[in-house]
Structures are given as C-alpha cells and as structure tokens.
Amino acid sequence: MDWSDEVFTRKQVLVAAAVAALFAAPIASIADPTTGQLVYAFSYSSNQDVAARDSANQAEPYGTSGANGNELAQSSGISHYSGRLNDKGTMTVQVVGKESDGGLVVNISEQGEQIRRAPPATCVVYGNTNVICDPNKTVYTEEYTLLRFLGSNFVDPNALDANRHWAIAQNTPSLNVKADYRINSNNNGIMQISETRSVHQPSMASLTTDVQTKIGYDFNRTVPTSVDEYVTQRHDNGAVGTSTTIYQTTLNLVSDSMAKT
C-alpha cells in the first residue's frame, strides 16, 4: 500500500530533554544495514463472518408449509456464512540496499506449512511505515505487517514527544490512515512499542480496518524482534450485506545474519 511520507519536526526544550534521556549514549549511533538476511517464524489466522442478502427483496412472500397448512414466517432474505484460515511457517527478508530517498530495498518471501506460500517479492520500505511492493508479485497481508516496521527510521528520536509517542496520518479521498505509536519500555535499546492504527477506505463501500499491535524492537539493529497484531476489518456493502474479519498475526525473529556475534 502506498502512503505519503510524514514530515517530522524537532520539539521544544522539554521534549528534547526527554528524548535525550530515552536514547542514551549506548544507542545513539545507528549503522545502516546494507545487505543481510532476516528470518521470522510466523503464525497467521483469519476468521470471517458474512451477512449476505440472498434475495433481491427485503422479505420473501408469505406461503404455506403444505400438508399442515401453517403459514410460513416472513424471511429477511439474509444468510450468514463464516470461514476460518490458519497457517504458520517462516518469513525471509533479504536486505538488498538503500535508495537515495532513504527507502530500504528488500526481497520478502513466505514459506507456510499449508497454503500461505509466496516467492520473493521486491519491496521498498520507509520509516513512516510506507511500503511499496512489486504489483506483479504476491505479498500477503502478514508480510505487509512485518514490512511496515523494517524502515531504518521507524523509531525516530526527533519524532517523539515528551510521552515517548509519535503519530502518522494521511487523508486522501480514497484512503484515511491514522496510527499512534508509544514506546512503553526501553532497556538499552530493546523496546516494547504499541501501535493503534485505523485505516478507512470510503471508496470501497466503507471498508474500515482497526489494528492493535505489540512490537518488540531492537533500536540498535533497527529491526523488529517480535510482532503481535490483532486486526478487525469491517466491510459494509449496504443492502447487499456486511462482513467482519478478524486477523491475527504473530512474528518472532529467529535469525539475523547482520547481528554482531
């Protein structure tokens, strides 16, 4: 999904002091990755509930049940369906390099035990969670979950307020995005970050996505070490019907060829 860049400004003296305390000397210097490989273990599940109108009319005509002559109840013409999908496996990210605008170029692939399998796709990721991928390749939603947090400036000290919080927002006629991030703890650069994200696509019959995420993040290596994401997506098609889908994704870093030994 292609989202516009965010412009961050430096805060006033109070905020600068808080940032300085948060990012102490041991984590002040960041080495930009050039090449290397990250491997994550992932689990993914989706649960969908659909209310669909099977009849063009809001109510079916009255009738009789036949032999006993009892009158049938009026029907709404709406049926309910549900479905579930689960998979787990590994996700591999090959870091290729950096573009002149700061975007990190990666190849990402997925090896699920069941059906979530995709060959490598080239993507460019940015610190403001923007992700641009090859439109001719399959990139699953759980891959986008990881890609959002791979930008080298995902945690930008200059973007933090006094409460160790920052926000990202975009508003266009076709897409409204608002995301809030907070560093809940920091132990020498090993962070726990929370994300609250809302995505609204009015052009797609009122598609609304609400995201709650817990992110383990290594600021020294600028990589997420764990991700636990819970997504509720609602699609309102008006008279045609509605659907609600719950997505859950977990990711845990199991291998990093760029880590110092």
Q: pLDDT (tens digit, 9 = 90+) per residue, 39-77?
A: 999 999 998 877 665 554 544 444 445 556 565 555 555
The b/e string for 41-56 (b: 16+ C-beta within 10 A; e otherwise) is ebbbebebebeebeee
| Mean pLDDT taken over the chain | 79
Q: State pTM to two decimals.
A: 0.75
Q: What per-residue confidence (pLDDT) applies to 174? A: 79
Residue 212, domain member (yes or no): yes
pLDDT in tens, 82-140: 788 899 999 999 999 999 998 999 999 999 999 999 999 999 999 999 999 999 999 99
Q: Is residue 123 part of a domain?
A: yes
pLDDT for res 217: 98
The rounded distance, in Å, linking the Cα atoms of 137 and 96 is 17
Residue 174 included in any domain:
yes
* CATH number, position 94: 2.30.230
Looking at the structure of the chain, the number of domains it has is 1
Residue 7 lies in a domain: no
Q: Which domain holds residue 221?
A: 13-53+80-256
In a domain, 6, yes or no: no
Q: What Rg do the C-alpha atoms of the chain give, in angstroms? A: 23
